[in-house]
Each structure stands twice: as structure tokens, then as C-alpha cells.
Amino acid sequence: MKAGVFKDPYDLVAEDGIEVPEIEANEVLIEVRACGICGSDLHMYRHNSHRGVLNRVSKSGKEIPGHEFSGVIRKVGADVEGFAEGERVVGVGMGGFAEFVPVPCNPFQLVKIPDGVSFQEAATTEPMADALQMVRKAQLKDNENVVVYGVGIIGLSVIQALLSQDKAIGKIVAIDISAVRLKKAKELGVYCVNPLDGDVVEQVREICGTTPVSFPPSNPPSVDVVIDCAGYIKSMKSESPLQTALYMVKGDAIGRIVCFGAYESDLAINFMPVIDKQISIIGSQGYASEDLVIALEMMRSGKVNRNDLITHQYPLADIDKAFSAQMSPEAIKVMVLPTEA
């Protein structure tokens, strides 16, 4: 089969002649129709970050990335129940940049695609599920203001999840340096801030107002929650999003920061705002199994439009071009299409 093989930073190529994976009794073999490039894939692509957990290693030792994919079941293991050959499914596992990939049968990694949802839409299920968990962990109260830091596919998914809540949300502010991504966020109806336009905290203060902290005295914006989808990229020239978030959120044990974006390396942080303002920092990784089903139903019902977030498509043979495109500020979600219907 053909697969995208990661060798070293900036060295990811499509190779032929790789063995089709064998499946275990509790696995299915998926013929992959669409696989999205994740931000964590880019961390690995640039700096080898998280390499050990982002690739499926074939029997011949080839490292195959890709974990956001959809396709058709072509083989079913002896112990698998509830799934059959020919069914359209979302898979979550390593090795999705390939014509075929094995996936264990469990509710965290395998779910059926509803009628009316395309393979490319379905390949955005995992980031939508991640967003649903982040919003749940934020424990929003009515009319609270939320800042979403980084509005690639994950941040825009968070905005979609926020807008789908059955409660009154205050102001939602999107922060990014990409004009394309901010334009998409604005189309969703939220406020937008570009760090290239000036001090981020001041721009957010103009939108949300202030909520002074009495001791030690400070005047942060009136931001209840920051959801950090950006993490830390070595090429960042300004303070990390986490540091800015610590300066930005409210005090008096109200401010919360949900951290999701990955880190390419260690970085220095002024942690005193956590103590001074009694900030809660909440980590979020992945999703609850039911979030996959909820995400797909949101697509099926039209509650969210995922097609609008897919900006580029490439065949598997051009996976190197696909990764270059995903690193550009014009990209939101880049899809690699290993096989055709």
C-alpha cells in the first residue's frame, strides 16, 4: 500500500510498497478516505516533538502519522461486534496517512458516520470532540466572557461548541495572527484580536471591559475563561499564550484557563498571577467517548458547518505539499485523501 512516512523534521514523503496492516481480533481494517493534519503533527514535523506517540510503526519499521481520519471498513476482526464490512466510520488512532489503517473497536476510537455526513466532514470529528470537552471543563456560567487563543481547526471548533451551548454566553474573543482564521471566526459572530495590531491584553480590555483586583492591585480585562488552543511554538516572537492568559483572566478565584495546545519545548513563565488572582488552570486532552457521537450528530443536523473549515485538499502522493500548506497562515484544516470512493 501507499503511506506517508515520517523520517525526520521536514522529511515526510509518500512511499509505495508498504505492507497492508494485519488486524487483531478486536480491530477493524479501515480504507482511509480522508485524514486531517493536526497541530500536534506539525509540532512533530518541525521539531520531532511528541514523535513517540504520533506514529504507527509498520512491521517494516516505517513511521506513519495521522490520527484524524474517516473511511470504510474493509475487514473485521473475529471478536468485533456491532461493525461490518462496508460501513462508513470515523477512526481515531495512529497511521491514518495511509491507504489502510487498523483501529481497535472501542467507543473512543471507532464510531459510525451518520447518513448525510461526508468523509471529509467526518475526519474533523476528533477535533470537534476535543472542543466539546474543553467547553465542558470550562464550566461556564451564564454571560461569562471567553477568550479562545488560537483559531485553527481546534479553536474554531471551540467557538462552534460555545455557540451551541444551551446557555447565554457573554462575549467570545478569538485571538490569532492569521487574517484568514480571524475572518472565519468573525463569520461565526465573535470578536477578533490580532497580536500584530498591538498589545493583546489592551485589545481584549477594550472589548470586555475590566474587573479590578483589589490585592495586589491590578486591572485585568473582564475575562472569565481563556481556552488556550495555541500552546507554544518555538518560533513565537511574543509571550506565550499561557503567559498572556495569566495576565488576562479575572482575579478573586474566578478566572479559569483551559490548556489544550501542545508545547514544542519548555518555556519560562511568570507564575505569580496564579497566586495573586487564584487562577484555576485546567488541562484538557482528548474527549469523552460520547463526544464523538455528539460531534457527528451536530454535523448531521447542521448545527455546525465543518466544510467551511476545510481549506485545502491533497492526494496522499502530495503529503509533503499538504504539510507545507498546513503551516501557512492561509490554512485552517488541510485534508489528505489517501483513497477515492
For the stretch 104-115, pLDDT in tens is 999 999 999 999
pLDDT band at 301 (very low <50, low <70, confident <90, very high): very high
Helices vs strands, H then E, count in the chain: 11, 17
Q: Total domain count for the chain?
A: 2
**In Å, how far from its chain's centre is CA 155?**
7
- Whether residue 252 lies inside any domain: the answer is yes
The confidence score (pLDDT) of residue 249 equals 97
Residues 269 and 311 in one domain: no
Distant-in-sequence, close-in-space partners of 104: CB < 8 Å, separation ≥ 6: 24, 26, 27, 93, 110
Which grid cell sits at 159? 467557538
Residues 57 and 170 in one domain: no
Which amino acid is located at 182 in the chain? L
Nearest one of 29, 52, 56, 50 to 110, comparing CA atoms: 29
pLDDT band at 262 (very low <50, low <70, confident <90, very high): confident
pLDDT at 234 over 90: no
The confidence score (pLDDT) of residue 184 equals 96
The confidence score (pLDDT) of residue 77 equals 97
Which grid cell sits at 326? 498546513
CATH of the domain at 197: 3.40.50.720
Rounded Cα distance between 302 and 160, Å, is 12
pLDDT at 265 over 80: no
Residues 100 and 192 in one domain: no
Residues 243 and 330 in one domain: no
The confidence score (pLDDT) of residue 341 equals 67
CATH of the domain at 24: 3.90.180.10
- Whether residue 297 lies inside any domain: the answer is no
Residues 13 and 35 in one domain: yes
Residues 191 and 96 in one domain: no
- Secondary structure of the chain: what % helix, strand, coil (to 5)? 30, 25, 45
- Whether residue 292 lies inside any domain: the answer is no
Rounded Cα distance between 134 and 283, Å, is 9
Residues 34 and 150 in one domain: no
- Whether residue 214 lies inside any domain: the answer is yes
Count of residues in the chain: 341
Other C-beta atoms lying within 10 Å of the C-beta of residue 29: 20
Strands 56-57 and 63-64: antiparallel
Residues 211 and 322 in one domain: no
For residue 313, what are the domain limits?
A: 3-124+306-337
Which grid cell sits at 226? 481563556
Residues 104 and 155 in one domain: no
- Whether residue 314 lies inside any domain: the answer is yes
Other C-beta atoms lying within 10 Å of the C-beta of residue 243: 17
Residues 37 and 160 in one domain: no
pLDDT digits (tens, 9 = 90+) for 173-215: 999 999 999 999 999 999 999 999 999 999 999 999 999 888 8
Residues 19 and 61 in one domain: yes
Average pLDDT of every residue of the chain = 95
Residues 151 and 211 in one domain: yes
The confidence score (pLDDT) of residue 290 equals 96
Yes or no: say if 299 and 306 are a contact pair by the CB < 8 Å rule: yes
- Whether residue 288 lies inside any domain: the answer is no
pLDDT at 216 over 90: no
Which grid cell sits at 103? 483501529
Percent of the chain at pLDDT above 90?
A: 87
pLDDT digits (tens, 9 = 90+) for 122-162: 999 999 999 999 999 999 999 999 999 999 999 999 999 99
Q: Could you tell me the pTM of the whole model?
A: 0.94
